[in-house]
Amino acid sequence: MSMSLVLKPRVSEKAYGLSQLRNTYVFDVERAANKHTIARAVAAQYGVTVIEVNTINATGKPKRSVRKGARPSVGHTSDVKKAYVTLKAGDSLPIFAAIEEAEIKDAKNAEKLAKIAAKAEAKAATDKAATNKAAKEKK
């Protein structure tokens, strides 16, 4: 069952924070899956060492939708089983790699903009000094 277990990573701010701080990744799994099968599936699919697996059965929230001119229909969202998988130090999953690359790219762009702004300020200061000098010579 380990290879046939579908692991859907949860991409949220909380999941991203856990992956950065505690090396813990969050997955949506089948409700029948247990901790052992989840650990084997993560190890097999991603080639990492799993230290700990915690699971939670989250019940669906009630939802209500109101249609124009009709009675409100009542339903609920689906129940979900979440698995919090902690990996060995040094191991990581490429789930949030695109986000990290974007952050690095943004930091580099900010550095470039700061350098350009510093150059523009220096040029403006030299131009102002040259203008002041020329004005004094005219007098």
Instruction: For residue range 82-131, list pLDDT tens digits in order.
Output: 999 999 999 988 888 777 777 788 888 888 888 888 888 888 888 777 77
Q: How far apart are CA 56 and CA 84, in angstroms?
A: 8
In a domain, 3, yes or no: no
Tell me how many domains the chain contains: 2
Task: Say whether both 101 and 48 belong to one domain.
Answer: no
Q: Which residues of 38-57 are buried (b: 16+ CB within 10 A; e: fewer)?
A: bbbbbbeebebebeebebee
Task: Say whether both 29 and 78 belong to one domain.
Answer: yes
Residue 139: is its pLDDT beyond 70? no
Task: Say whether both 102 and 80 belong to one domain.
Answer: no
Q: What is the pLDDT of residue 3?
A: 52
- Residue 84: which of 28, 40, 36 has the closest Cα? 28
Q: What is the pLDDT of residue 29?
A: 96
Count CB-CB contacts under 10 A for residue 92: 17
The parent domain of residue 31 ranges over 8-92
Q: What is the pLDDT of residue 69?
A: 85
Strands 62-65, 73-76: pairing is: antiparallel
Report, as an integer, the average pLDDT of 135-139: 70
Per residue in 33-85, pLDDT tens? 999 999 999 999 999 999 999 999 999 999 998 888 888 899 999 999 999 99
* Cβ–Cβ under 8 Å, residues 86 and 33: no
Task: Say whether both 98 and 81 belong to one domain.
Answer: no
The band of 1, judged by pLDDT with boundaries at 50, 70 and 90, is very low
Task: Say whether both 48 and 34 belong to one domain.
Answer: yes
DSSP string, 58-124: EPPPEEEE--TTSPPEEEEPPPEEEEEEEEPTT---GGGHHHHHHHHHHHHHHHHHHHHHHHHHHHH
Q: What is the mean pLDDT of the chain?
A: 87
